[in-house]
Amino acid sequence: MITTPEQHESVAKKIRALLAMAAPGSGATEAETILAAHKARELMDTYNITQTEAELRADPVVEDIRWSQGRYDDYAKLGIPSAVAKYTDTTIWYDRNGRLHVLGQQADVTFARWLLDTLMGFVARGAAEYQGSHTEKRNFAMSAAARICRRMLDEVEARNKAKPQGRDLVDVTKQALIKDWLDAQGLKFRKGSKKEFDANAAGLAHGDAARWDKPVGNTDDTRRLK
């Protein structure tokens, strides 16, 4: 618990250093940038310290693109990106070429991209290893993705209920910056159609086994989650 202005500034200094490490051109490795982005957000929430509007506007909105990584990865794409977007304060969409676009502040985009790779890869590998027909594998993947989404959204809801003072302004400013970027590009989104599928108990259990806590060590290992 922060009790003095000196302690507040000390934590704020750590947050600024972590955000700088997560920025492009910092020279940090992929594992270090992901850890820095995660730790910065963790400190902000723990100590009720938020970026000022000036700091947010000084941090330009960036776009990252993630290519499709396989058939079952595409089934995970039907739900996980929307949950990751809410979890990381980003905007995520996919185009007709199957690419996922991730838009937001650099630290948020770094964390979102890692979550997409981690969770969608986890679903895809589980479906590929599942013994069944193509339709059964598809239902496995979609069930696992649906369970992961539900768990992530439950965390977002709990986090919002415990939202620290000043966080609302940060959220509004981030979304305003993203909207300005989209408007400048002339991009507008239409509502997607809902796809029905038969729930697969094994897929739901696979989704329950997913983890998205902070990465440790080599990111290639953490992405496997096994």
Is the pTM higher than 0.85? The answer reads: no
Q: Is residue 10 part of a domain?
A: no
List the alpha helices (DSSP H) in the chain.
5-22, 30-47, 53-58, 71-76, 80-88, 106-129, 134-161, 167-185, 201-208, 219-224
Q: Please indicate whether residue 23 or residue 74 has the higher confidence score (pLDDT).
A: 74
Domain range for 190 is 61-224
What is the domain count for the chain? 1
- Is residue 132 in a domain? yes
Q: Mean pLDDT over all residues of the chain?
A: 78
Tell me the per-residue pLDDT of 181-194, one tens digit each, with 9 for 90 and over. 778 878 777 666 55
Give strand pairing partners of 170.
none
Residue 48 lies in a domain: no
Average pLDDT over residues 210-218: 64
**pLDDT at site 221:** 42
Instruction: Say what the pLDDT of residue 172 is.
Output: 64
| pLDDT value of residue 223 | 40
Classify residue 26: in a domain, yes or no.
no
Residue 50 has pLDDT above 80, yes or no: no
Q: Examine residue 11 and state whether it is found in any structural domain, yes or no.
A: no
Q: What is the pLDDT of residue 164?
A: 58
**Residue 76: both structure tokens together:** 């995970």
The pLDDT, as a whole number, for residue 205 is 92
In a domain, 16, yes or no: no
Average pLDDT of the residues in 103-123? 87
In a domain, 36, yes or no: no
pLDDT confidence band for 217 (50 / 70 / 90): very low
Q: Is residue 160 part of a domain?
A: yes
Query: Which residues neighbour 1 within 8 Å (Cβ) at sequence distance 6 or greater?
Result: none
pLDDT digit string (tens) for 133-153? 999 999 999 999 999 999 999
